[in-house]
Structure 1
Amino acid sequence: MSAVPATPRPASADAAPDRPAAPDQRFALLLTPPRARGGLRVVPARVAAMCAVELQKLRHDRTELYTRAVQPALWLLIFGETFTRMRVIPTGNVPYIDYLAPGIIAQSAMFIAIFYGIMIIWERDSGVLTKLLVTPTPRAALVTGKAFASGVKAVIQAVVVIAIAAVLGVALTWNPLRLLGVLVVVLLGSAFFACLSMTIAGIVLTRDRLMGIGQAITMPLFFGSNALYPVDVMPGWLRAFSAVNPLSYQVDALRGLLIGTPAHLLTDFAVLALAALLGIAAAASLLGRLAR
Structure 2
Amino acid sequence: MTQQEPDVMLNGWVDPRTRKRGNFNSAIAQLFSKTLVIAELEIRKLRHDPYDLIIRGVQPALWLLVFGQVFTRTRAIPTGDLSYLEFMAPGILAQSVLFVAIFTGGMTLIWERDLGIVHKFLASPVPRAAMVLGKAVACGVRSLSQIVIIYGLALLLGVKLNLHPWAILEVVIIVLLGAACFCIFSLIIGCLVRSRERFTGIGQLITMPLFFASNAIYPLSLMPGWLHLISSINPLTYEVDALRGAMIAHGSSIYGFGLDCTILLLTLIGLTIICGRLYPRVAM
Taking the TM superposition and a 5 Å limit, the aligned residue runs for 1:98-177 are 98-115=86-103, 116-177=105-166
Amino acid at match of 1:89: I
Task: Give 1:261's match in structure 2, choosing from 251, 266, 269.
Answer: 251
Aligned partner of 2:152: which letter?
A
Question: Structure 1 counterpart of 2:131, which letter?
Answer: L
Which TM-score applies when normalising by structure 1?
Answer: 0.85
Q: Distance in 1 between matches of 2:151 and 2:120?
A: 39
Letter in 1 for 2:184: C
Query: How many angstroms does 1:228 deviate by?
Result: 0.3
Counterpart among 214, 219, 222 of residue 233 in structure 1 = 222
Larger radius of gyration: 1
**Stretch moving more, 82-91 or 155-164:** 155-164
TM superposition outliers: structure 1 runs of 4+ over 4 Å: none
Q: Which string of whole-angstrom CA distances, capped at 9 and with x for unpartnered residues, describes residues 62-87 of structure 1?
A: 12112111111111111111111111
Structure 1: where are the runs of 5+ without partners? 1-36
Q: How many residues align?
A: 257
What CA distance in whole angstroms lies between the structure 1 residues aligned with 2:28 and 2:65? 47
Q: Secondary structure at the match of 2:151?
A: helix
Q: For the residues of structure 2 that align with 1:283 and 1:237, how far apart are their CA atoms?
A: 29
Match of 1:216 among 196, 205, 210: 205
Measured against aligned partners, the alpha-carbon deviations of 1:231-256 in whole angstroms (never above 9, x if no partner) come to 00111111111111100000000000
Identity %: 46
User: Aligned-pair RMSD on alpha carbons?
Assistant: 1.4
1:281 equivalent in alignment to 2:263? no
Q: Does 1:88 align with 2:80?
A: no
Q: TM-score, normalised by structure 2?
A: 0.88
Q: Distance in 1 between matches of 2:252 and 2:175?
A: 19
Q: Secondary structure at the match of 2:252?
A: coil
Match of 2:32 in 1: 44
Q: Which residue of 1 aligns with 2:264?
A: 272
- In 1, distance between residues paired with 2:111 and 2:219? 39
* Partner-residue secondary structure (3-state), 1:91: coil
Give me the whole-angstrom Cα distance separating, in 2, the residues matched to 1:93 and 1:38: 51
Give 1:217 deviation, angstroms.
0.7
